[in-house]
Structure 1
């Protein structure tokens, strides 16, 4: 981990859905989407969170911005418990950029109304100050001033995502959570949006949480990476260390599965590619059924996420990590 004081501290965060009993007394099924996640976010970094669909990364992102409430655990921002903060205070400091740029914008509002809302409700700005900030905000995301009077359906996906980024920045946040921000865009537009995000981060001193299943994108933008599997973080390290020499077999599987020109993709022997049943989680390590290094104790106890002999805060939840 970095020696710098963390901006966000996540401790034993968990989120379950369902559970309880029906009016007839029968037990309802319960699904645990996030299981005991503990991780820090240092100011000025880009933390990439990667994993397969269903691993819990988007649920974690929604809890960070207050769109979902944790079942247990805590999230602290600059030492303040976010669960105890008012919604307005939380929204002011942590903002969210959605995966689908068009559907995340209110179709009944003009772009001016969409961008003015955070300035009015979160910052309490008057009309003249809002107008001045709107002009700069539109220019910062490379859009034209006349776009302010148009509606979301009039824009392409790339333009709509720039508007979504501008809406997040309108509240002048400390942290921006980006949930698959380029997955719905064409490849050429993806590069433009990623370059824009990089520039805005440098100019505004932002801290990013970047959620993605695309390892190539994460490798290009993240300073540190956390890999999630079945609701838990199974490996965390600086990006360069993670991609150069992963410790967890699941991380290596993800890296080896990424499409590379002229390289044949090979499936691990015995790997079905299926996640465990979330309503009936197995004992021990949830990756055990797919792991080529599995031993008996892997099926009995969940390995703790702990530092290995790699330095620079390289942690892995594995009893038999890959060799250096």
Structure 2
């Protein structure tokens, strides 16, 4: 891979659930949560992924870290297809920070055992090496060394999330996928965790995939944003460009309906807020029934995700984008 090429390439990634037939030969219903997502991730960036609940964000995140196998598609890191290499290859280079910090930690293990597990199983480090790395790791997330011999239930939500972040970093990954990492925390604690993530990214040269429904958080941390709707990417752009001038009507709806600092909240009258039936998806653009700009062609074919600016950085899957 060239130095200017993407660190991670996601190509036509899809995940379906159900399907097949019963023992009596009747067809089982099938739900497709992710519908052919293609994205590039550049080393050192923070890619924010946003969308309403049920749009497929968390399913995509689970596939990126190997917790779920894609129905089709590929995940390549430095050109190597990790989706075909099994979960061990993905776990070594891509780590996950969960939404609920306390429930993501094994209540029967000490923090020391939790943090040593990836060092032992993924890096193959000996006892002395693990001890030295533990001291540095616990200090990096602003926790005291005596916390290592305590159990998860003894910590607050903010402290538990710091432990979750430390566990992700223990494997020395290239990419960290953060799935709603601050949504379960108080606002004051959110700021502390976000500042910690920013410092760790700079100090360790990390690359983040930051998944959230909170546009204010994404606007503050992301360098680039991908918007998901009904399992597909409908718009991608540098964060500043997307929030200043969205092209897809769905992105515009999200921004206008969200309480974003320094921006007046606007009315979203006329939007039903109803998602299409996932077991019977409509033809064409799935947002068409909610879109004020939809025309006949929108209901006949899904618009491709195409560049809409001269440099090609701002892409939208829309036949009638807002710039027109």
Q: Same fold (TM over 0.5)?
A: yes
- Aligned equivalent of 1:163: 163
The CA RMSD over aligned residues, in Å, is: 1.3
Q: Does 76-85 or 182-191 show the bigger shift? A: 76-85
- Aligned equivalent of 1:319: 319
Q: Does 217-226 or 3-12 show the bigger shift? A: 3-12
- Aligned equivalent of 2:277: 277
Question: What is the rounded CA distance, in whole Å, between the counterparts of 1:320 and 1:203 in structure 2?
Answer: 43
TM-superposition CA deviations, 1:34-67 (whole Å, max 9, x none): 0011110001100000000000011001000000
Question: What is the rounded CA distance, in whole Å, between the counterparts of 1:47 and 1:10 in structure 2?
Answer: 13
Question: What is the rounded CA distance, in whole Å, between the counterparts of 2:257 and 2:77 in structure 1?
Answer: 35
- Check conservation: 2:256, 2:265, Cα contact below 8 A: no
- Aligned equivalent of 2:173: 173
- Aligned equivalent of 2:126: 126
Tell me the secondary structure at the aligned position of residue 84 of structure 1.
coil
Question: What is the rounded CA distance, in whole Å, between the counterparts of 1:158 and 1:26 in structure 2?
Answer: 49
- Aligned equivalent of 2:144: 144
**Residue 263 of structure 1: CA displacement?**
4.1
- Aligned equivalent of 1:74: 74
Question: What is the rounded CA distance, in whole Å, between the counterparts of 1:49 and 1:264 in structure 2?
Answer: 21
TM-superposition CA deviations, 1:166-195 (whole Å, max 9, x none): 000000000000000000000000000000
In the superposition, the TM-score normalised over structure 1's length comes to 0.97
Q: Does 253-262 or 220-229 show the bigger shift? A: 253-262
**Residue 90 of structure 1: CA displacement?**
1.8
- Judged with a 3 Å threshold, the aligned counterparts in structure 2 of structure 1 residues 260 and 14 are, in CA distance, closer, same or farther, namely closer
TM-superposition CA deviations, 1:209-256 (whole Å, max 9, x none): 000000000000000000000000000000010001000000000000
**Residue 164 of structure 1: CA displacement?**
0.1
**Residue 4 of structure 1: CA displacement?**
2.8
**Residue 85 of structure 1: CA displacement?**
1.7
The answer to whether 1:113 aligns with 2:77 is no
- Aligned equivalent of 1:198: 198
Question: What is the rounded CA distance, in whole Å, between the counterparts of 2:300 and 2:286 in structure 1?
Answer: 10
**Residue 310 of structure 1: CA displacement?**
5.0
**Residue 86 of structure 1: CA displacement?**
3.8
The answer to whether 1:268 aligns with 2:269 is yes
In the superposition, the TM-score normalised over structure 2's length comes to 0.97
- In structure 2, the gaps of 5 or more residues are none
- Aligned equivalent of 1:229: 229
- Check conservation: 1:237, 1:312, Cα contact below 8 A: no
Runs of 4 or more above 6 Å deviation: none
- Aligned equivalent of 2:16: 16
Tell me the secondary structure at the aligned position of residue 88 of structure 1.
helix
- In structure 1, the gaps of 5 or more residues are none
Tell me the secondary structure at the aligned position of residue 83 of structure 1.
coil
Tell me the secondary structure at the aligned position of residue 241 of structure 2.
helix
TM-superposition CA deviations, 1:10-47 (whole Å, max 9, x none): 11111100001111111110000000111100011000
Tell me the secondary structure at the aligned position of residue 7 of structure 2.
strand
Tell me the secondary structure at the aligned position of residue 12 of structure 2.
strand
